[in-house]
Amino acid sequence: MVNRINLNSDKTQFSLNLSPEQKAILQMIGNGNLKQGLLVAIDQAGHFWNCGLEPEMDLRFVGLVTTLPNQDED
């Protein structure tokens, strides 16, 4: 799946075979930009990993709660 990774560079080039559905998801979260969608997905994956979510967990049993900052504290 990955062709080449250079860990000593700020840039990484790789090719990824995506299904049409996966491509549509990345474009959607990237506002039409596939690269931006991939970067958002990586950021979110890192966040959820740090929260304890692991790949083998069944996502049907994982919940998500969003909160807004308290505007009174500004």
Global pTM reads 0.68
Reading the block at residue 38, the tokens are: 């991939």
Q: Where are the beta strands (DSSP E) in 1-74?
A: none
Task: Dump pLDDT digits (tens) for 11-25.
Answer: 778 788 999 999 999
Reading the block at residue 2, the tokens are: 């990955």
For the chain, give every domain's residue range.
20-73
Task: Dump pLDDT digits (tens) for 8-60.
Answer: 667 778 788 999 999 999 999 999 999 999 999 999 999 999 989 998 999 89
